[in-house]
Structure 1
Amino acid sequence: MSDMTSKHTTNRAEAFDAVDVIRVKRDHGTLTPEQIDWVIDAYTRGVVAEEQMAALNMAILLNGMDRAEIARWTSAMIASGERMDFSSLSKPTSDKHSTGGVGDKITLPLAPLVAVFGVAVPQLSGRGLGHTGGTLDKLESIPGWRAALSNAEMMAQLESVGAVICQAGSGLAPADRKLYALRDVTGTVEAIPLIASSIMSKKIAEGTGALVLDVKVGSGAFMKDEAQARELARTMVDLGTDAGVRTVALITDMSTPLGLTAGNALEVRESVEVLAGGGPADVVELTVALAVEMLAAAGREIGADEVRSALGDGRAMDRWRAMISAQGGDVDAPLPVATESEQILAESDGVLATLDAMDVGVAAWRLGAGRARKEDMVQAGAGVEIHARPGDRVVKGQPLLTLHTDTPERFARALESARSAVTISDGPVVPRDIVLARVD
């Protein structure tokens, strides 16, 4: 028993016993609000041991939780830390959370686009782990840009610019940090009540008035199955609604990477193209769809055409430049470019049938764009450029993908993954919609 644990156990009588709480869920029972409040608090204090919380997590994975249990679990996680308050701002707030995918740079053009219409966007983001890229990693490829802001700096920037993308303070839902690390090493990451409460405890603690969820489904997403994605979306929308946050979810396709890039500086460059009125059609479509939802949730009914026009006429770009500059970024500095590149060529004539998002994401990660452990460094210029999309006709020898890295010894394994992403067929390919469903 650690000093911390023994100190806590001797100084106060605990309201419950961890083994009793585990048994309730093991035996398909329902945890009481008091049991939930105690177990989250006691785990955060170090009274409930890691192996006991691991056992409870597994019982939740296997036996589930009802809506009231998940809501109480989420509120107990919020209560473990501080809550932010944006009520002093002169404008409403709206936030977006994506469950993560490959080439998902949507936050970058989305935050300044929504800010154009008088809604503040406090986007507290994270770094990437594994095959999904982190928003902060992308923005840190801009020379001078900094992710760490004080609460006062964040509030000032939301008032003046209307959008901020920065790292979350350590004071928000500290119980979640402990639980997340434990789920990762105990095979309980997939438990929908735990995924939903992890995401929503942080988002509700952030204090936004409205929240739009982008729940990805497909090979490159956390959720591979649409029924599971719908269940997760429904659970998170209910949690937000129960906590008084106007919440809506879009379920979106992640079988193919978003846009034509996966990698940090590559994705920033593509985001700037979108903000300049260009960029890939799928990135523009999803950015506009999410912006319309974020604005509506904040009480601004603005149509897709009007939102799209702010990308074409420079208003969104002006907000982007102000947002990056406010955080020390040099918006005119050239972005890092990797020193080495290799191409994958089409091996036959035909139609590109699939471009598997997971395989492309793993290739970008192997090139140095992502990290295997939290402490790993990422390469700003590493990643994958995409030259053809599913449904495009291709000819033998045509470049399909370009792989970029500063460390050429990474190519062998990255090329292996990237080659397996591509299939070429004879017949036509039915295009998939980017937005598959809406849950409110």
Structure 2
Amino acid sequence: MSIYQTHLAKRQANEQTATQLLVALAKLTAQNVTVLFFGEKVALSVSDILAKHDKAGIDVADSLALADGLDIANTTLDLGQAIKAGKKASDFVSGQEIPATDVVLYGFGRIGRILARLLMSRPASDKGLQLKAIVVRPAGDGDLDKRGSLLERDSVHGWFDGAVQIDNDNGGIVVNGRFIKFIYASDPSEIDYTAYGIDNAIVIDNTGKWKDEAGLSKHLASKGVKKVLLTAPAKGEIKNVVYGVNHDTIGNDSIVSAASCTTNAITPALKVLHDTYGIINGHMETVHAFTNDQNLVDNHHKSDRRGRAAPLNMVMTSTGAASAVSKAIPELKGKLTGNAIRVPTPNVSLAILNLNFEKAVGSKDELNAFMKSKSESLEWQEQIDYSDSPEAVSTDFVGSQKVAIFDAKATIAQDSRATLYIWYDNEMGYSTQVIRVAETMATNG
């Protein structure tokens, strides 16, 4: 048998096994089980299953042996971790059942549409987060068609993997067979959500218009709203939560912030580094994709420099991400400074951490090995990814649902100092964290 035939035969056998695994996973999905493979969701396709197994160096037959006939429901299962540990799959079931909770997206910009995609890509279930409505400002004729098209087509993330239909008669859209009402309002005080069959809802405010308790409390004054989640750093005493780091502090708070995309990207890495080596101080520089609050061409802007054309310039600006870390890790208060450079790319950003430690971090290889072990751990695998490719560039990470990707090739380490580089999809990665915070709020009642 030639080398070509050998590889072909092996692939054919693996595809047959993956098809059997696909059936087992489909049954689990129908029972509202989220199947992960080292923290990444498994798409119900043979190619995705085999790609994940090849990357991890795991035999797909081992996964089939663990998943076939598994009797669990309404939970999350990490198949990869179970195989790695050599234990039965039920030992790697995590997370309590999330009760059915109405969700309203207040705003439908970049983050709002990514959140809608993520929520509506899930299997239909009467459990968990239920996206019922989207609130936007009053608009003209044909607005639903335009909103639906923006959800379906995206210049950065491509076509939505699902069906979007316009329901003009009922004033909404049908996404993957589920109806979403569009509500037109200029202020939360105008809305009675119960009139649309929505009650005890979590409103995810992704407009950034209100960031303090006084402004966000307007949502709570609307009938049918129980809690509010802000997709931006909050002002005042509102908790800024980075899932995986301090989400256990949420309690029954009625208003919570999911912090910023950059804060979410750097805080998990800072947490594991501080717990092991002790951070004395440091500086964070984010090379950030341009955003919608900048001008396309030179024009007046209330903020310094942001009035200059975003597609043509690197723009120095400020960021509160470094100081915001202390809201999730209080012991780092006053130890970090930060700045930002907006660059002419529409998505994926890079955080550069220059840190001084209490303990020696060893060589570059030693520090990389530490970060790799954290990225592969059950505790941090959903937040931290690891890249050691010498060819990695920003577009490689478009669509990554990990909130941070550690670039091992770029690490600089000497004595008790280190410079670390962390990529992040500032839209998709951040949105996965927002949903995790929303699920925690729903679970807490």
State the TM-score, normalized to the length of structure 1: 0.27
Greater RCO (CA < 8 Å, at least 6 residues apart) = 1
Higher strand fraction: Structure 1 or Structure 2?
Answer: 2
State the TM-score, normalized to the length of structure 2: 0.27
